[in-house]
Amino acid sequence: MTPVVYLHGLASSPQSIKAQFFRRKFEERGLPIKIPQLDQGNFEGLTITGQLAVVDQAVSGKPVILMGSSLGGYLAALYAARNPNAEKLVLLAPALEFPRRWRERFSAEELALWKQRGSLAFFHYGYKTERPLGYGFVEDSMKYQNQPEFSQPALVLHGIRDSVVPAAVSRKYAARHPNIILRLLESGHELTDVLEELWAETAKQRCFLDSKTCSG
């Protein structure tokens, strides 16, 4: 039985609403799931490279189904592009084009000030307070491609009212990749108001729950 590894978003945690929702759903069906803490308790030192190392450790080189939310979706795509043992993906509002879109989020002056100070405060949903994030996160992200190219089957679930990662990002990516099934939902970036719909769409695609079958 192929295990699931769920990757939470930026400034989130394994205790997020979606992570725990999917944990319950998979465990009710006897499907193994891991939800690693991607910052390993060091949010200030967070990088894409460091998170990929955590994913690699959680997967341990074995066949896996990757689920990822927002930045976790981008990480899942990056990992799958490099590792064929990632058999399938379920991406929730994936932050594709992350390196480019992240830098565009800030002005040149804001980035310069961040670099000068060494860190910038962000609200961390896991800690429920602001935590500093080191500028190394920006520098490290520049090493990675905006749109990872992976060939594994993938289900992408995206809210049409997403103001953080517009649904157009997933539409554009899915249009170029026949291995992707895209489902657009009446929701925003968090998708917490459509949890049952997320599960229904995931369960509908049997190839994401049963490695012996794959039907749309």
Quick check: 120 and 114 in contact, CB under 8 A? yes
Sign, CA dihedral 9-51-62-27, equals: negative
Q: Identify the pLDDT of residue 210.
A: 62
Instruction: Phi first, then psi: give them for residue 43, nearest 5 degrees.
Output: -65, -35
Quick check: 76 and 7 in contact, CB under 8 A? yes
pTM of the model: 0.95
Q: Identify the pLDDT of residue 100.
A: 94
Q: What is the per-residue pLDDT across 113-147, written as a single tens digit (0 to 9) for each?
A: 999 999 999 999 999 999 999 999 999 999 999 99
Helix (H) or strand (E) segment spanning residue 59: helix 48-59
Q: Identify the pLDDT of residue 213.
A: 47
Q: Identify the pLDDT of residue 1.
A: 78
Intervals of the chain under pLDDT 50? 213-216
Strands 129-134 and 119-124, sheet pairing: antiparallel
Instruction: Count H helices and E strands in the chain, helices first.
Output: 8, 8
Q: What share of the chain is helix, strand, coil (3-state, %, to 5)?
A: 40, 20, 40
Q: Identify the pLDDT of residue 156.
A: 98
User: At a CB cut-off of 8 Å and minimum separation 6, what does 33 contact?
Assistant: 3, 4, 5, 6, 22, 23, 26, 27
Q: Any idea where the domains of the chain sit in the sequence?
A: 4-97+148-208
Angle at 64 between CA 58 and CA 70, to 5 degrees: 75
User: At a CB cut-off of 8 Å and minimum separation 6, what does 151 contact?
Assistant: 179
The domain made up of 4-97+148-208 has a fold known as Rossmann fold (3.40.50)
Q: Identify the pLDDT of residue 208.
A: 62
Quick check: 26 and 1 in contact, CB under 8 A? no
Tokens 């040149």: give the residue.
108
